[in-house]
Structure 1
Amino acid sequence: MVTILVTGSAGFIGFHVCQRLLSQGNLVVGIDNLNDYYDVGLKESRLKLLMAHDNFRFRKLDVADRPDMADLFQQEAPTRVVHLAAQAGVRYSLQNPHAYVDSNLAGFVNILEGCRYGAVEHLVYASSSSVYGGNTKLPFSEQDSVDHPISLYAATKKANELMAHTYSHLFNVPTTGLRFFTVYGPWGRPDMALFLFTKAILEGRAIDVFNQGQMVRDFTFIDDIVEGVVRVLDKRAAPASQAGGAPYRVFNIGNNQPTPLMAYIEAIEKSLGRVAVKNYLPMQPGDVPATFADTDALNQWVGFKPSTSVELGVQRFVDWYQDYYSVAVRAHVAS
């Protein structure tokens, strides 16, 4: 039985990754600080499902807490680490920069130090498509320059990749970063477009459509993300010539099927059987008009590329949303 530490285990991606690892018979140690960036109740609902597994242990910890993280690595001695805890959100970073420094930078150093001294055999961590910044060449390739981020969130994710390379080079810690592209699906984050749009449409409110709807995203379904994470975790980064001989890798993980925002909205409308009232707005600061993942490197490394259609993925989210919140309403009425 392999012990795997998953940070951000009550988060959207962390929850799904934990479920998959537990289904494989691993011992999973999950940590999360359960902050109130979005609905803590949703995080607790995810956590409740994980706690039903005998092989899951949870600790409420903040990755930025150096002494607690050092104790965690010493006591749990994880074989592998999946680091998904981070302060998320591009726009939130414009008003709350210190939250990103604490979690995404200081917290990541604590993870790297734990892996270094704990002789962890593989660290897989979340990077982001946002590192491509204002790049206009599509699709985005891992070989492209990522030296011009346009949000602090993106800058912290680029910094994580540089920090990971340093530890891979100096201390031979095998690290693999995954640049996620617009992840969506059941149990998703309430601050993401799919959640916001679905909620507003069902409540009869207008949805905010930025850049006058002229946006394209490589929407990637959560099950595909989890498959990629698990496959990469099972294949430890080997010394790479392009990384100066360090055991270091970075991969895009996206659907490789960029979808216009308006087509995404149409898929939501179809699933709900309702037409959205649209409030067209200019581009938001820190946002980009298009994302598109080149996934050839990931496919060559682990033999996998995401493929879930937007129509299927959106329908699965809508089904979950209506079920989850109808249960919540019934529970509230009963109480």
Structure 2
Amino acid sequence: MKILVTGAAGFIGFHVCNRLLEQGHHVVGLDNINDYYDVQLKYARLQQLGISKDDAAVFLKHTSSRTYPHFSFVKMHLEDREALPKLFASENFDVVCNLAAQAGVRYSIENPETYIDANIVGFLNILECCRHHHIKHLVYASSSSVYGLNTQIPFATNHQVDTPISLYAASKKSNELMAHTYSHLFKFPTTGLRFFTVYGPWGRPDMAMFLFTDAIVKGQPIKVFNNGQMARDFTYIDDIVAGVVRIIEKDTTPRTTTNQLYKVYNIGNNNAVKLLDFIEAIETHLGTTAQKHMLPMQPGDVAQTWADVTDLMRDYNYKPQTPISNGVKAFINWYKTYYNVT
């Protein structure tokens, strides 16, 4: 198939592109390479996909990979209402995997406009392009943050998600509502994936795995919020990618009614891990004890996440299988290599 992957320079997007190319698909990657976190890491990911920094830095330049004959990249804003439709018209995509978004719960408190531009206006642009260019399937990133103040554990997709506690979460809930509308009105399949705390090699510097490892290596204290009384459904990147690619590759022809066309799934490890246990795994593989700075809960954060992935297991035979210890070891090995830490 020919697949558009937005957010291709991002953590999950980069890995999804890699796996799709290994599976023999033609992939076009799109990213605006914003500076929410270190852009050098984004360029380094793209270099792994055969796109040079010089080429990737130029807006609207469509560059072919030097490594993968079936991969190309274009730097573009999702909300560009002239350029994105032109890309769809010229490339004739079969499937769109929309992983691009302004990420971050805490950042949304200080920079709300960015989330409306990328996550609302940008997503509408994606939906309109899918509608007018007869895309067979739109797979898009939602988030576990949509559960907000929901207290039922584990989180299930039939739970109420009307109490978001960050603008990021509200934008992701909006994406799900918008996708439902387009599936209903224009009869094309959409599948939303509520990601649960993804970690692994090439991971984001603003996420716990990276922050903790980086601080411990540098001999700095780590910030442990809610005095360590947190739990997360930490999910290793390979398990996430396996699920995403399986969804992309599955035939959607049998999906005909609105209930079938519009789907939302949790995608996680199906197991809540205490934050202090996660930190202990990092300490074990680094051979160092962390200096812990205990802090109260931050605004917009939740104490626990835990994904019920029963429906994803049923419909796609999804099986997360990477133990925390193995995943943490893989991340630390990558971190040491990338940053030349002995």
TM-score, with structure 2 as normaliser: 0.93
After TM superposition, give the deviation of residue 307 of structure 1 in Å.
Answer: 2.0
- The 3-state SS of whatever aligns with 1:66 is coil
Counterpart position of 1:117: 132
The answer as to whether partners of 1:122 and 1:236 remain within 8 angstroms in 2 is no
Q: Describe the superposition over 1:41-62 as per-residue Cα deviations: whole angstroms up to 9, x where unpaired.
A: 1000100111221111000101
The separation in 2 between residues aligned to 1:28 and 1:105, in whole angstroms, is 24
1:326 aligns with 2:325: no
Matches within 5 A, 1:121-270: 121-237=136-252, 238-239=254-255, 244-245=258-259, 247-270=261-284
After TM superposition, give the deviation of residue 246 of structure 1 in Å.
Answer: 5.3
The answer as to whether partners of 1:207 and 1:278 remain within 8 angstroms in 2 is yes
- The 3-state SS of whatever aligns with 1:154 is helix
Q: In the comparison of the two structures, how many residue pairs are matched?
A: 325
Counterpart position of 2:76: 61
The separation in 2 between residues aligned to 1:306 and 1:97, in whole angstroms, is 34
Q: Describe the superposition over 1:68-127 as per-residue Cα deviations: whole angstroms up to 9, x where unpaired.
A: 111111111111010000000000000000000000000000110111111010110000
Alignment RMSD: 1.3
- The 3-state SS of whatever aligns with 2:263 is strand
Counterpart position of 2:33: 34
The separation in 2 between residues aligned to 1:152 and 1:311, in whole angstroms, is 33
Counterpart position of 2:290: 276
The answer as to whether partners of 1:4 and 1:82 remain within 8 angstroms in 2 is yes
The separation in 2 between residues aligned to 1:249 and 1:220, in whole angstroms, is 21
Counterpart position of 1:3: 2
Counterpart position of 1:332: none
The separation in 2 between residues aligned to 1:204 and 1:235, in whole angstroms, is 47
Q: 1:78 aligns with which of 93, 96, 104?
A: 93
Counterpart position of 1:20: 19
Q: Describe the superposition over 1:250-283 as per-residue Cα deviations: whole angstroms up to 9, x where unpaired.
A: 0000101110000000000001000000000000
The letter for the 2-side match of 1:159 is: S
After TM superposition, give the deviation of residue 240 of structure 1 in Å.
Answer: 7.3
The answer as to whether partners of 1:129 and 1:181 remain within 8 angstroms in 2 is yes
Change over 3 Å in CA distance of 1:259–1:240 after alignment to 2: farther
Percent identical among aligned pairs is 60
Change over 3 Å in CA distance of 1:216–1:245 after alignment to 2: closer
The separation in 2 between residues aligned to 1:246 and 1:110, in whole angstroms, is 23
After TM superposition, give the deviation of residue 236 of structure 1 in Å.
Answer: 4.5
Q: 2:120 aligns with which of 105, 108, 117?
A: 105
The answer as to whether partners of 2:187 and 2:256 remain within 8 angstroms in 1 is no
The separation in 2 between residues aligned to 1:245 and 1:37, in whole angstroms, is 36
After TM superposition, give the deviation of residue 306 of structure 1 in Å.
Answer: 1.2
What residue ranges of structure 2 are gaps of 5+ in the alignment? Answer: 51-66
Counterpart position of 2:56: none
